[in-house]
Amino acid sequence: MEHAILSTVGRRIQEAFCRFCVPIIVLFGCATTAWIGLYTDAIPVWLIYFCALSVPFTISAAMWAESRQRRSHLFVSIIVLAALLLYCYFLPADIDASDSVTFVQPIVLGGVGVLSIFFMPFIREKDSDVAFRTYAQELIFQALRAAAFGILLYAGLAFSIWIVNTLFNIEPHWEPYGQLAILCFILFTPLCFLFSLPPMDKLIVGEVSIIDKLIDTVSRYILLPIVVLYTLIMYIYLIRIITLWELPNGLVAVPVSVLFIGTLIVIFLQYPVATSNRDNKLSRLLFPFSGFVIVPLLVLMTIGIVQRFSDYGATINRCYVLAFNLWCYGVALYLYLSKARRLVPIVASLVIVLLFTLLLTSLFLM
């Protein structure tokens, strides 16, 4: 029994190393860099960003190569790492949360890397959106499970360190907790995520499961009423400013963005049941008309953004908000015309818009 368990674990680890050799090497490099950073301030900013950005992009390259049934993703990963190294090396030397170059733009690029993990395996696939939804659901589940394991491991070991220090009258130091955080969150959690991912051919399943039906119930009777409530509040506000003939609050972009993202989440969660049951009246109404209903609120958001530009001038952050607003228009039109038949173009278009905006703002700053 024990031999069988050890054999299974060993086989899973060996498979993971074959599938994700570059991301695993990158993770150990990140952990080494963070470990050295505990004892010195000499770690350059560009290396910190390179370590953080290289993880999602190399995982994306590995998943893409696996979906194409290619033996190695090493060549693609080397190209990606070289491009990231070039980008990070020319970043400013100091991290400033108020500076869009050293703070906002790398975060946007990291978001692009994370999103690319979801859609890159399906970039050339047709009629694969149910599989994409199942794949994305499995990725999120495995990531949350790995994060939960990492948090539990860190909490248990950190508490044991505290007990030893307290009972044996040892002067506490912060270094053991930092070292433990590196081992748990930079090594254990990502490795647990990678080791738990089944191969693509076993991961992608097109049939509706009991979990899909449970998610459908939650999204239908909890999330959807919340989205409807938000929509009613925003329309009441729209009627109010039209009646009073006044400009909207400049921060109206926040609730409209939350409403739009919430609508997409409901569509995403409803997708498997909706596609398996073409007589689903809720889906026939929700999928095409959700984009149509939200367009007036997107206009309200545009007016608020233009007002912020007029009052406070153009900034990199406002450019990203404007780009997101324009992307929302495109997605709303796509939902209405296509009745949300495909999900992959929505995610892929967001990545393209973010990369295009990142390029334009970088050229503007130069």
Based on the domain organization, do 45 and 170 belong to the same domain? yes
Q: How far, in Å, CA of 293 to CA of 83, rounded?
A: 41
Residue 292 pLDDT grade (very low, low, confident, very high; cuts 50, 70, 90)? confident
Q: Tell which of 203, 236, 251 closes a domain.
A: 203
Residue in the structure block whose two tokens are 């170059």: 101
Lowest mean pLDDT among 22-26, 95-99, 123-127: 95-99
Alpha helices in the chain (DSSP H): 2-19, 21-37, 45-67, 74-89, 105-119, 129-167, 175-181, 189-196, 200-203, 210-218, 224-244, 253-276, 281-312, 316-338, 344-365
239-269 pLDDT per residue, tens = 988 888 887 877 788 899 999 998 888 888 8
Q: pLDDT digit string (tens) for 331-342?
A: 988 888 877 677
Q: How far apart are CA 308 and CA 306, in angstroms?
A: 5
Residue 164's domain comprises: 2-203
What pLDDT, on the 0 to 100 scale, is given for residue 314? 78
Confidence of residue 90 (pLDDT cuts 50, 70, 90): confident
> Given 187, 203, 219, which residue is the final one in a domain?
203
pLDDT confidence tier of residue 119, bands split at 50, 70 and 90:
confident
Closest alpha carbon to 282 in 306, 297, 298, 266:
266
Q: How many domains does the chain have?
A: 2
Same domain, 355 and 225: yes
Residues 157 and 214 in one domain: no
Q: Choose one of 167, 186, 203: the last residue of a domain.
A: 203
- Whether residue 311 is found in the same domain as residue 220: yes
Instruction: Give yes or no: residues 260 and 346 share one domain.
Output: yes
User: Per-residue confidence at 30, pLDDT binned at 50, 70, 90?
Assistant: very high
Of 47, 24, 21, give the one whose Cα is nearest residue 34: 47
127 or 347: whose pLDDT is higher? Answer: 347
| pLDDT digits 0-9 by tens, 204-246 | 555 545 566 667 777 777 888 888 898 899 899 899 888 888 8
**Together in a domain, 320 and 186:** no
Looking at the predicted structure, is the pLDDT value of residue 287 above 70? no
- Mean pLDDT for the chain? 81
Rg of the chain's alpha carbons, rounded to an integer?
23
Residues 157, 226, single domain; the answer is no
